[in-house]
Amino acid sequence: MPLLPGIEASAAALFAGWPGALAGDGPTAPPEALDLCRVAGTLWVAADREDAPVGFLAAGDLDGFLHVHEISVAREHQRRGLGRALMAAAIDFGRWAFIPAVTLTTDRIVPWNKPFYATLGFVELTRDGLPPGHAAKLAHELDLGFDPARRCVMAKVL
Amino acid sequence: MMAKGFWIARVDVRDADAYKNYVAKNGRAFAKYGGRFLVRGGAFETVKGEARARNVVIEFPSYQAALDCFHSPEYQEALAEQKGGADVDLIVIEGYEGPQPGEG
């Protein structure tokens, strides 16, 4: 658990060449938020051969959907399918738990954001008619400085 | 080494909405008592007798932990969400540590 924020920071470094995709050096997810996901059984960790964590996906309930709060893979372990595997675990859990959809917020342009999630079957939701928790989260992210023209909510129906 | 404990559960869900609330809450109890899914769903064939649609094997560090988990306030609170939404066969059972066929 204590290693997960470092993974997130390492993954975020990749956004350095993508101005507008991040709100500056945003803080990593607080440990207590990750722990809430862990005890709820909706924190998935990818580990290397030595069992050291190299990626994670933290999700939780939002408006009755399984919402991905954070998915990060350490920089040196990217492009090996770990993000896809982590997302597959969350989708599998969602189906198991009769959750109607997996949702997330992301950037429209960065290749490993919306275009990546689209390959997994996620579609963008229009801002009109977002469920209240999702509308509030998007508004909060825009307050933090994310580009309103690029931030979006996506969902994969299970 | 102390024998592990297991839950072996077979479930037919009748009311997905009620069952969904149960699944959303039961992870808390499993995490607290060290439960790990060895089987959760997965392909299966009924080769003899009767089967149910959802099958689960959960491993606990000990038989006592497996029993304590079932009786815990956390699990009972989750269970209350089922509200009869499922037909369940569940046993809590001690693991086997003795010699295996073909050994010694």
What residues make up the domain containing A121? Answer: 4-157
Q: How far is B83 from chain A (nearest CA, A)?
A: 16
Across the interface, of B17, B19, B28, the residue whose CB is closest to A40 is: B28
Looking at residue B81, the DSSP 8-state letter turns out to be: T
Question: Which tokens sit at A41?
Answer: 């059984």
Distance CA A134, CA B55 (A): 33
Instruction: Mark which residues 52-71 of A lie under 8 Å from B by CB.
Output: 61
Query: Total domain count for chain A?
Result: 1
Q: What is the share, in percent, of chain A residues with pLDDT greater than 90?
A: 64
- A11, pLDDT greater than 80: no
CATH number of the structural domain spanning residue A97:
3.40.630.30
By C-alpha distance, the chain A residue nearest B26 is A40
Quick one: which H or E segment has residue B73?
A: helix B73-80
Tens of pLDDT, residue by residue over A46-89, are: 998 998 999 999 999 999 999 999 999 998 988 889 999 999 99
- Tell me if B32 and A97 make a contact (CB, 8 A cut-off): no
A and B: number of Cβ contacts within 8 A = 30
By C-alpha distance, the chain B residue nearest A66 is B24
The pTM is what?
0.83
Distance CA B8, CA B54 (A): 11
DSSP-derived secondary structure for chain A: -TTHHHHHHHHHGGGGGSTTSS-SSPPPPPHHHHHHHHHTT-EEEEE-TTS-EEEEEEEEEETTEEEEEEEEE-GGG-SSSHHHHHHHHHHHHHHHTT-SEEEEEEESSSTTTHHHHHHTT-EEEPSTT--HHHHHHHHHHHHHT--TTTEEEEEEE-
Domains of chain B: 5-94 (3.30.70.100)
Tens of pLDDT, residue by residue over A15-46, are: 665 655 555 445 677 788 888 888 888 999 99
- Tell me if B20 and A97 make a contact (CB, 8 A cut-off): yes
Q: Which of A36, A98, A99, A102 to mutate to test the interface with B (most CBs of B within 10 A)?
A: A98
Q: What is the share, in percent, of chain A residues with pLDDT greater than 70?
A: 91
